[in-house]
Structure 1
Amino acid sequence: MTGWDITPGGVQSVVSKVREAAGDMNAGITLYGRSAQGAMESAGTLSFGDESTAGTGSGRAAGLVAVALGKFIEGTQKDVAFLPLRASDSANGAIEATNAYLAGDLEQAWNAQHHATLPPDVTAFLEKARKRADGKQADGKR
């Protein structure tokens, strides 16, 4: 722990850039989600059974491309959510460690720095996001 030489202005500059990049990542992720949803909706459907029921909702299922896109998104959602969470945790850890360093508490600074290196809980984040999304859809808001 000895030998630390932290410049608060430098930390603030880097944290500002990280937060800006995280905001850009969030905007990109939102666009990615909307684009994937649009692609899934535009990919068409498969018809089963009597073609006279086409358009009535019976005998129709999502097309193969939509299913594949859905599986891809499902399989990569934790990786996609990890990026901005990791950036946020790192920025917050840098601020906490710097504040502790300035207060002269090197042990607390080390703890803050160490906790910032731990992987974020993406599963909990995704569960909260889904609940918020479900609540918005139930209210008719999108």
Structure 2
Amino acid sequence: MTAWDIKPQGVQGQLKVVGTHAGDLEKALGAWLTDVAEAAQAAGTAIPGGTEAGQPVGPVAPGRQPGPVAGSIVAPSATGPVAAALGEYVTARKPKLKSMAERIQAAVLGAATATNEYVEGDLDTAKQAQDAAKSVRLDLLKELGGRK
């Protein structure tokens, strides 16, 4: 990479914008999880009177546990089929949500680290930070950012 032309103030401005949007996204995801938990709680169970805590009443499939939503995202009493389905939905989305958060973090850290190294004249480390951001290597980005 022989020709870099970075305007640090422009990068800083864009990182602030991204940070604002990332904060908005975090709030939206928190509200979504709260809404899912409330929906699971409100759905009740398939058994009349089955919303009380305690042992399940009626037939239960062998080896079945309350859905993954119960106990971690929603109150333990939300054990009906809708709560279980919502739990599976959230569990299935968890890796994508985690990946999204890591990509945002890598982009921000990579841009900040690469720009700082560019300003200091260390184009090799700037390139390493840029490559680490592309491959979502948060461990390497954190290490590069902590060298000073």
Give 1:104's aligned residue. Answer: 121
Sequence identity of aligned pairs in percent? 32
Give 1:58's match in structure 2, choosing from 55, 58, 79: 55
Q: CA deviation at 1:52?
A: 8.6
CA distance in structure 2 between the partners assigned to 1:99 and 1:54 by the alignment: 56
Q: Which has the higher contact order (CA 8 A, sep 6+)?
A: 1
In 1, Cα distance between equivalents of 2:34 and 2:131 = 36
Distance in 1 of aligned mates of 2:119 and 2:51: 69
Mapped contact 2:44–2:51 kept (Cα < 8 A): no
Unpaired runs of 5+ in structure 1?
122-142
The AA in structure 1 aligned to 2:44 is G
Q: Which amino acid aligns with 1:116?
A: A
Corresponding residue for residue 60 of structure 2 = none
Deviations 1:57-96 (A, max 9, x none): 3334722111111000000012122223311221111010
> What letter corresponds to residue 76 of structure 1 in structure 2?
R
Q: Which residue of 2 aligns with 1:43?
A: 43
1:122-137 correspondence to structure 2 within 5 Å: none
Match in the other structure for 2:4: 4
Q: Give the equivalent residue in structure 2 for 1:85.
A: 102
Return the structure number with greater strand share: 1
RMSD across aligned positions (CA) = 2.2
